[in-house]
Amino acid sequence: MQKRARIGSIFGYLAIPLLVIAALVTNVFGFLSVILGLLSAVVALFLGISVRWQVKKTASKSEEIERIRSLATQGLWLGAGLLIAFGALTLVGLILMAA
């Protein structure tokens, strides 16, 4: 459980530079960065959700469980925030292209 929470957090932090690179580069590398960044954000989101759900089922309130919960929450918010930000930027881009 701790390993999945840590992996989710890492994927969340990995998505940030990938999406920044995608915003700055407009060639094939930028497109691949978009795909990898979005996949990383989705992985962070789903791992965060699954670990938090598993922690919620655990009756223990130890310090280790709270640390795992914190990591899972971090991955969850990173993934969700990046997906929302990317969606908002995409929407703004589409509106500007249509205008």
Instruction: Supply 33's token pair.
Output: 């960065």
* The one-letter amino acid at 28: V
**Distance from CA of residue 1 to its chain's centroid?**
18
| Other Cβ atoms within 10 Å of 83 Cβ, number | 18
Full pLDDT tens readout for the chain, 99 residues: 778 888 888 888 888 887 777 777 777 777 777 788 888 888 888 888 888 888 877 767 788 788 888 888 888 888 888 888 888 877 887 788 887
Which pLDDT does position 97 carry in this prediction? 81
Which pLDDT does position 67 carry in this prediction? 82
pTM of the full structure: 0.73
Distance (Å) of CA 26 to CA 5, 22, 33, 57, 97: 33, 7, 10, 45, 16
Domain positions in the chain: 2-98
Which pLDDT does position 4 carry in this prediction? 80
